[in-house]
Structures are given as C-alpha cells and as structure tokens.
A and B are shown apart, each in its own frame.
Chain A
C-alpha cells in the first residue's frame, strides 16, 4: 500500500503538470485560430485617465464585436493595452510613450495600433513607429505638427504616413474657436494660457494666429506649470488686465485647478479651451458651479446625441456602465478602420502584414459612426468638423455625465 505523504516535491510535480497541461491547452487553441495583434496606447494613469478609459472602451468594443462574429476572415483580434501615463508625470509621459512604441514595434504579431490619446505622446511615438512601418490611428490627439509634411523628417523619417487620425487637428480646432469667440461671442480682447505641453502650446498658437487675424486683441499670454497648485498669481494678473475672455490650451491636470481658481478670481469672464477641457473630471473634480460657462471643443462631429446612435450608446453603456463621449466614438471608428483594412487585405487571401495593413489604411474608405472616413496623404482626416460645447449643469442627470456639456453647434470654419 502506498502511503507516501504529500511532500513538497509531489506538490511541485503536480503544479508543474498543471502548468504544462495548461500551456499545451492554450497552444492547441492558438494553432487552430489565426490572430493579429493591435496595440492600444492611452494615458491610463494621471489626470486624463477617465477620458482614456472611455476611449479604450470604444476601441475594445469594436474588436470584441468583430471577434464575437468569428473575427475577420478567420483572424481574431488580440488587443494589447499600453499606458503612457506615469506616476511621476501625473499625466502622459513622452518617455513612457516612446518605450511603448518600441514594445509595439518589436512584437512581430502587432499589425496596427490605436492611440495615443495625447499629442505629446504622439510626438514621441511617431518616429519609432515610422521605423517599424506600423500604422497607428489616433482617436483624440490633435497637434497638427505630427502629420504636417513640413516636419516629415522628424515624425515620419521613413517617408510613409503612419500616423492617421479619426479627428481633425488643432490647425482647425484653435482657429475655428477663435472664429467662434469673434463672430458668435463678440469677444474683442482675450488672455491666452497654455499648459506647456505639446498639445496645449500648439493649440494656443493656432488660436492666437487666427484671433489676431480676426482683430481680437491679445492682452498677454502665460504658461502654466501643470504640476504647480497655485494659479492665483497669473489669474490676479489677468483680472488687472481685464480681458473679455480667457482661452486655455491644455489638458486637465492644469485645467482643473485653473477652472477652480478662475471661478474665485474672475468668475464672470468668458472662459474656454479645446478638447483638453472636455472630460469628466472637468465636471466632477472642478464641481458646479465653478465649471459652469466653460466652453470646450471636440475635433469631431458630435454624434452621441443623434437618434441613429441610440442603440450604440445603449450597448456601450450596458457594457461599460459609463456614458460614451465623442472620443469613444472616434476610437470605435479607429477600430473600424483597422477592421476594414484587415478585411480588405485578407479578402484576397493575402497575409495581414504590417505593410499591407498600413497601405490598406491609407486607401481606406469606410462608413463609421461619425460618417465616412478617409485619409489624405499625410494621414489627416478628410472631414474637418469642430463641435462647440458649454458646461451647464443638468440637474436631472448625474454630475459626471458628459451630457452636462451642452452641444452648441459647429464652430465657424476659416
């Protein structure tokens, strides 16, 4: 009779057996299924994390739906998420973004990517992705330099466009908002602020150029340190200069503090920014009524309130228990572009390689949630729509609901 006690060695043996069986099991599944990997890079740590989640949900939802239908021509899509936010930066960190880009490029299975959320991350990623000829589609980064042929040597040294967008750029977002200030709000003088990031500085520059053309007097411009807590100094200075309006180019790390303190010091002044101040934290962390009256723009058509979108909005909400915003839509659209490219390549029975997918994305013509999407030679979206919102609390919905951003309309084009 075998009454060998249950020793440590047998335990290790059993564990090893289980692991081996598990590994074999997984292998068998993988051998039967074909798959491609898509990287998603967003700022999941830091001040913009909540917006990042909504974007991630949008993209993942599209891939989940495709996988549930058996994939595209038998190819399943495996999503690898990356986080370019770091605790030390408290928001997106270009160094981390560059590391993530290298990881994506070095994984042979990766055929395309979605992201980044932030332009500062995009500037760090683009040259690395260009070397790997890996196409990335951004649902929200709007700095125009990255796709501008003037800077091609810097951001796409290998020549081909690899940075595509399902949003318009700040070359439209800033100037269109300057038009809105001048034509609709009849603003004659403005004070400019930026948050010293790639996106913020670029947006404020683009705004400033058009504002000057429109005859808006620029009373000054200051740069906020997003890590500093106190902006009362610069706001006091603004109060003493007494402009009619403030325009802020930047994201929420500085934006939340700016909105709170601006309400204390210059409560009546017109205040606005770009898509950087369009996010749930602007509602919950700033709080009402300090955030009320703030204008924000989004570099895509506003579709989440349209009737034909109701079913999509509902299934997003049931799946993730949070409301989608417009960049959840553009992220879903980015995923649709990748799926369309994958379909186009594999329809002919070709291998979905990185090169083939990039070329297919470049040539894509696909109907997405926001409308038909196609790209110009630089990777920019053909359609350029800037939507304007204003924060006004709707007491019937939760304070964090993005519907508290009231859609005003499309900003006047240049």
Chain B
C-alpha cells in the first residue's frame, strides 16, 4: 500500500466518521442556539435511534447481513427505515422537551442541563434493561460493492453515508435560512423576548428545534448501525462526546460550524490513529479543542454571542 493510497484511505475513513459526528453535532447546536442549553440527552437519543432503525429493518424482514438487496427495493427499504427512525427519534426529542425541560424553562442556572443528564441515563438504562447488554448484529441489506482506487477501497456504504449526511445538512441549512419557521428560529436564537413580541411562537420554535435535532440524531444512529454492522446500549457516549466537541469546535449554535467541526474531528481521529497511536486519539482531539477555545473562544465559525440580558 503506497503512502498516497494510505492517506486516501484514512481520509475516506475520517470523512465517514466526520459525517456521523456532524449529524449529531447539529442537534447540539440547534438546541443550544435557541435555548443556550447543552442537551446531554442527545447522546442517547442517538443510541435509541440506532435501535429504532434496527427494529424497523428487522420488521421488514432483514436479519444480519444475510439478506442483500439492490436497486429499487434497496432504496425503498432505506427510505422507509430512515423516515421511521427520524420521525420516532424526533418525537422522542419532543417528548423529552415536553416532559422534562418545559417545566424547568423559567428556572435559572444549570437545572435544565442536569435534567438532560438524568434523561440521558433514563434512556440508557431503559435500553440496557429491556434489550440487554450485549452488542447486536445490525441488519444490513447493502450489497458489499466496493471501488478500488489504487490500494484504497471506497465502499458503497461510505458513499451512502456521505449522501444521506449531505442531503440532511443541506435540507437543514435551507430550512433555517429560507423558511418562515427557520426565520422564527433565528429570531428566537438572537433574542427570545423580542421574537415573542414580534409574534413568534417561541414554544413551537423550541419544539421544532428538538424535533429536528433528535431526528438528525436518529438518522445518525441508523447510519452508525449500517456502517459498523452493530449497535449496543453504550454507543451514545463516545460518539456523543466527540460530536459535542465538534459542535463546540465549529462554534456552538452555528449550523455550518457543526458540520465543519464534525469533519475536522473525524479527520483528526483517522490521521491521529495512523501517524501517532489510537490510544492518543482523545488526547489529540481534546488538546485541539482546548487550543481553539483559548484562541477563538466562540469556535471556528462562531461569533461572540451578543449579550442577551
């Protein structure tokens, strides 16, 4: 394997990781942008999403890697799985907001953030106690098609991850920038008081933010399962923490920043593993985070938040 092929392969690996982190990071950023709340429940909405995706695929009769599909049936199955997973995860996010966060809306301080940690543990333990502690073999109907570029290999599932991630991110970007609801979201993010006075229904905006963020986490969970062919109750932690780092790195509250942060963290993980050692991955990632925050406290693309009080 020549050095350039190796570099190319690690870039492919890093971009796939990055796409997943970016989808997750968007959820953190959406909610933070509007509520200034770090939503730790997001970690495990992602995890639950991967299980919902698994059950959906299993209901359609796909088990393990034994059933391979191509053409239209494959696209149909993927679309159904994606839609069901995103809707269910989105509703889960709305439910979390309605049950555990709205009653705390007017409480100052870190109460809401700590509540999200609690919710995260509730989800985690529900899955642990009902589904069990062992890793699950993820149903995957994707044919094992791969393309050789020199000695590097690009697999169909990598292309699929990138396509889904890019489509979802573009969709979100246009929704936030172009639609009326997106405008309301941006207004609420800037100043919820003023937005409310201008007739924006802030509660609805918050629900939409939770729905979209959680739906993207669900999509991330499904993609995770399809990419790694496994899921387990514990996957939320590491992926969630790295995605959160990605959101902060890109500038929390900033949508393109979250995407950029995700891709950067993914590439760092791949290149760090290649040239230094995998044991150092977290050290490298978090050192870079610290450096960025020291020199650019608002993150790479973030602007220093205007004083809201």
Are A and B part of the same complex? yes
Residues on A lying within 8 angstroms of B by beta carbon are: 45-47, 49-50, 85, 87, 90, 196, 222-225, 227-234, 236-237, 239-240, 242, 252-253, 256-257, 260-261, 264-265, 281, 284-287, 290
In this complex, what residue of B is CB-closest to A286? B137
Verify B277–A257 contact, CB threshold 8 A. Answer: no
In this complex, what residue of B is CB-closest to A43? B133
Verify B274–A227 contact, CB threshold 8 A. Answer: no
Verify B135–A45 contact, CB threshold 8 A. Answer: no
Nearest CB of A to B88, in Å: 22
In Å, the complex CA distance between A228 and B224 comes to 12
Which residues of chain A are within 8 angstroms of B136 by Cβ–Cβ distance? 285
Nearest CB of A to B53, in Å: 15
A227-B238, A261-B228 as given contacts; A287 in contact with B135, CB under 8 Å: no
In this complex, what residue of B is CB-closest to A237? B274
In Å, the complex CA distance between A222 and B233 comes to 25
Which residues of chain A are within 8 angstroms of B125 by Cβ–Cβ distance? 87
Contact partner, A222, options B134, B269, B277, Cβ 8 Å = B277
Q: Which of B9-17, B23-31, B190-198, B245-253 contacts A (4 or more CB under 8 A)?
A: B9-17
Verify B230–A257 contact, CB threshold 8 A. Answer: yes
In Å, the complex CA distance between A47 and B9 comes to 30
Q: Which of B171-179, B181-189, B278-286, B288-296 contacts A (4 or more CB under 8 A)?
A: B278-286
Which residues of chain A are within 8 angstroms of B9 by Cβ–Cβ distance? 236, 239-240
In Å, the complex CA distance between A87 and B236 comes to 12
Verify B224–A229 contact, CB threshold 8 A. Answer: yes
In Å, the complex CA distance between A256 and B270 comes to 20
Verify A229–B132 contact, CB threshold 8 A. Answer: no
Verify A46–B282 contact, CB threshold 8 A. Answer: no
A-contact bits for B58-79, CB 8 A (1 contact / 0 none):
0000001100000000000000
A-contact bits for B114-142, CB 8 A (1 contact / 0 none):
00000000001100100011111100000
Nearest CB of A to B285, in Å: 11
A-contact bits for B218-251, CB 8 A (1 contact / 0 none):
0000001000111011110111000000000000
Nearest CB of B to A393, in Å: 12
Max chain B Cβ within 10 angstroms of own Cβ: one of A229, A237, A284: A229
Among all A-B residue pairs, the 3 with the closest Cβ atoms = A233-B273, A90-B234, A223-B279
Verify A281–B135 contact, CB threshold 8 A. Answer: yes
Which residues of chain A are within 8 angstroms of B17 by Cβ–Cβ distance? 230
Verify B235–A229 contact, CB threshold 8 A. Answer: yes
Does B107 count as interface, using CB distance less than 8 angstroms? no
Number of B interface residues at 8 Å Cβ cutoff, please give it: 42
Which residues of chain A are within 8 angstroms of B282 by Cβ–Cβ distance? 225
In this complex, what residue of B is CB-closest to A279? B134
Does B305 count as interface, using CB distance less than 8 angstroms? no
Max chain A Cβ within 10 angstroms of own Cβ: one of B235, B270, B273: B273
In this complex, what residue of A is CB-closest to B17? A230
Does B6 count as interface, using CB distance less than 8 angstroms? yes
Contact partner, A287, options B13, B229, B233, B281, Cβ 8 Å = B229
Verify A236–B10 contact, CB threshold 8 A. Answer: yes
Which residues of chain A are within 8 angstroms of B134 by Cβ–Cβ distance? 47, 49-50, 281, 284-285
Verify A260–B229 contact, CB threshold 8 A. Answer: yes
Contact partner, A285, options B6, B128, B137, B237, Cβ 8 Å = B137
A261-B228, A287-B65 as given contacts; A229 in contact with B133, CB under 8 Å: no
Which residues of chain A are within 8 angstroms of B229 by Cβ–Cβ distance? 260, 287, 290
Verify B13–A49 contact, CB threshold 8 A. Answer: no
Contact partner, B278, options A45, A234, A253, Cβ 8 Å = A234
Nearest CB of B to A354, in Å: 32
Verify B238–A237 contact, CB threshold 8 A. Answer: no
In Å, the complex CA distance between A350 and B230 comes to 55
Contact partner, B281, options A47, A228, A236, Cβ 8 Å = A228
In Å, the complex CA distance between A51 and B253 comes to 45
Which residues of chain A are within 8 angstroms of B124 by Cβ–Cβ distance? 87
Give 21 CB contacts A-B under 8 Å. A85-B133, A87-B125, A87-B234, A90-B234, A196-B279, A222-B279, A230-B13, A233-B14, A233-B270, A236-B13, A236-B270, A237-B6, A253-B234, A256-B135, A257-B135, A260-B228, A284-B134, A285-B134, A285-B230, A287-B64, A287-B229
Does B148 count as interface, using CB distance less than 8 angstroms? no
Which residues of chain A are within 8 angstroms of B128 by Cβ–Cβ distance? 45, 87
Does B1 count as interface, using CB distance less than 8 angstroms? yes
Nearest CB of A to B255, in Å: 25
Which residues of chain B are within 8 angstroms of A264 by Cβ–Cβ distance? 155
Which residues of chain B are within 8 angstroms of A285 by Cβ–Cβ distance? 134-137, 230
A260-B228, A261-B228, A285-B230 as given contacts; A222 in contact with B278, CB under 8 Å: yes
Nearest CB of A to B90, in Å: 23
In this complex, what residue of A is CB-closest to B135? A285
In Å, the complex CA distance between A17 and B257 comes to 67
In Å, the complex CA distance between A260 and B224 comes to 14
Which residues of chain B are within 8 angstroms of A90 by Cβ–Cβ distance? 133, 232-234
In Å, the complex CA distance between A236 and B8 comes to 11
Which residues of chain B are within 8 angstroms of A236 by Cβ–Cβ distance? 6, 9-10, 13, 270, 274
Verify A45–B133 contact, CB threshold 8 A. Answer: yes
In this complex, what residue of B is CB-closest to A287? B137
Verify B230–A230 contact, CB threshold 8 A. Answer: no
In Å, the complex CA distance between A252 and B230 comes to 13
Which residues of chain A are within 8 angstroms of B281 by Cβ–Cβ distance? 225, 228
In Å, the complex CA distance between A237 and B16 comes to 17
Which residues of chain B are within 8 angstroms of A85 by Cβ–Cβ distance? 133
Verify B234–A227 contact, CB threshold 8 A. Answer: yes
In Å, the complex CA distance between A252 and B274 comes to 23
Which residues of chain B are within 8 angstroms of A228 by Cβ–Cβ distance? 238, 278, 281
Known contacts A50-B134, A285-B135, then 15 further A-B pairs from the complex at CB < 8 Å, ordered by chain A residue? A45-B128, A49-B132, A49-B133, A87-B125, A87-B128, A90-B234, A222-B277, A230-B13, A232-B16, A236-B274, A237-B274, A256-B135, A257-B228, A260-B230, A285-B134
